[in-house]
Amino acid sequence: MDLQRDGDPGEVEGRSGVSNLDLFRGSGGAFGGLRWLWLSLVIAAVCGCGESADTVEAENPNDRWPVEADSGLRYPALGPVPALPVWPDNPPSAEKAALGRLLFNDPRLSGSGRVGCGACHFQNTYFQSSTPQDVPDRSYPEISPRLPRNAPSLLNIVYAENCRWDGGHCESLPAVLMLPFAEANMNLTPGVARDDVHTIDVPGAQAGFRRRMVEQIPGYVPLYEAAFGVDISQSDAEEIWALGGAALAVLMRDAVSRDAPFDAWNAGDDDAMGPEAVRGFEIFVGKGGCVSCHYGPMFTDFGYHNMSREAVADDGSREDEGRFLITGNDADKGKFLTPTLRSVVFTAPWWHDGGETDLRRLLAHITGPEGKADPLHDPILDGIEPLAAAETEDLLQFLKALTGTHPDPVDFTAPVESFPNIDTVPVGVSPG
Ligand code: HEC
Ligand code: HEC
């Protein structure tokens, strides 16, 4: 997949993202905020501000969106990516990032010795996978079964208020960054059958991770010492695991995408987006209803919605029940986390199942009858009408204008020669 920014967004790649949502939180929680926002959209549509009637077409569309004096933005609910968060209990350092980089790349840390995080979160393509469903380490040496869901981009993960498609296991960033070791993905869990892609065994993986760090690849001990001032040969498995997560979290501070053309336009630069993208923005915040769920600096409410993406069987069940698997609430069946739209044109395939490679089709699903097919579909979708072909093209131009800076992949790769104990512990076979 090439990263050419001028390519056709209809068939390009996807995803991730957070925050200043206080704006909406004040008014009775996220839900109350959404309702309020939706109402104001309807009002905007009625007053014509979001529509482009023939008469106003001749004028410069930028004039319809003056920069507000208070915020310095044309549309504050879609503000820029904020400054990096401050972590008093885990201040960043080059040594932590260096350790994190090795933990991210070293395939010897997987059960089979063949898979690193970067096998599914490609450094070169916004840390996502171009395969709908990847082969987890637990499936080796066979390449089946595959993971049930698509690997999202890790861009801007440091800002995420919720993560993973169903929001499960995302209590803290360090913990969720270590979780793959306990899952089929990295499989440091020898007791779990290879055709089981669901079981998560954290204690088992913690013990395995300690063995890797202290006994099998002891070159990691001084790297921990340099990063945290801790001699992990004296630490228990839980501490080594937590520090590993802290190192990975620091690495992720560099995985940030910001300063998209839209951000410049939103701050008042008329030339940052062409008229098509400005019209697309108007659809995004108007007729398309997109901003009801995709708002805030990351273009997500970090909430869960049923978008009718799963087929509903005769008995009312879905193959993947999404958020329900975590909460057990019937109302959450078929709901998935709203993904970020920053750099979204580069993060195909899309949806939680990675089953879509055409953004035009995806937009038709959201705005058309398909999106309303599941009896539990989000009621917000009922107020959204199909887009005309020209509107879809404008909206695509707007989505393209959400492509920001891409971090330097070099910061996220580590040459094999730099792996600790590489002379004695080969890549591609399990060290344990
Ligand atoms: C075999 C493929 C695979 C490997 C290897 C893998 N992941 Fe993932 N990752 C996934 C998939 C699939 C998901 C989506 C899981 C879900 O939401 O149910 C995911 C989700 C995530 C998320 C949540 C992102 C979000 O925005 O929701 C993070 C963070 C993450 N992975 C980090 C890592 C790290 C760190 C490693 C290495 C220790 C790793 N992954 C290894 C496939 C993989
Ligand atoms: C009711 C809330 C809601 C509305 C309205 C909404 N979305 Fe989404 N969007 C979501 C959720 C939730 C997903 C993920 C659903 C899934 O995978 O099952 C999603 C997925 C997407 C994706 C795929 C991203 C990826 O990485 O897989 C794109 C692109 C997208 N939406 C754009 C839009 C646009 C453009 C609009 C307006 C036409 C819109 N959305 C309206 C909630 C919403």
Q: Give which of 337, 356, 334, 335 is closest to 345, Cα–Cα.
A: 356
List pLDDT tens digits, range 189-222: 989 999 999 999 999 999 999 999 999 999 999 9
Provide the 8-state DSSP code for 421: T
Q: Where are the alpha helices (DSSP H) in 116-256?
A: 173-182, 202-210, 220-228, 237-252
Pocket test for ligand 2, best of 128, 164, 298, 305 (most atoms within 8 A of CB): 305
Q: Is pLDDT larger for residue 126 or for residue 237?
A: 237
Confidence of residue 57 (pLDDT cuts 50, 70, 90): low
Q: Give which of 298, 387, 296 is closest to 343, Cα–Cα.
A: 298
List pLDDT tens digits, range 230-283: 999 999 999 999 999 999 999 999 999 999 999 999 999 999 999 999 999 999
Point out the ligand 2 atom lying closest to the alpha carbon of residue 310: 18
Find the 331 Cα to ligand 1 centroid distance in Å: 26
User: Chain-wide mean pLDDT for the chain?
Assistant: 89
Find the 153 Cα to ligand 2 centroid distance in Å: 15
Q: Give which of 297, 305, 298, 367 is closest to 331, Cα–Cα.
A: 305
Span(s) in the chain for CATH 1.10.760.10: 9-84+259-400, 94-255
* pTM higher than 0.75: yes
**AA letter at 350:** W
What residues does ligand 1 touch, defined as CB less than 6 Å away? 16, 115, 117, 119-121, 134, 136, 147, 149, 151-152, 154, 157, 160, 163-166, 176-177, 180-181, 185-186, 248
9-84+259-400 is classed CATH 1.10.760.10: yes
Point out the ligand 1 atom lying closest to the alpha carbon of residue 103: 38
94-255 is classed CATH 2.40.30.10: no
Find where tokens 């104001």 sit: 40
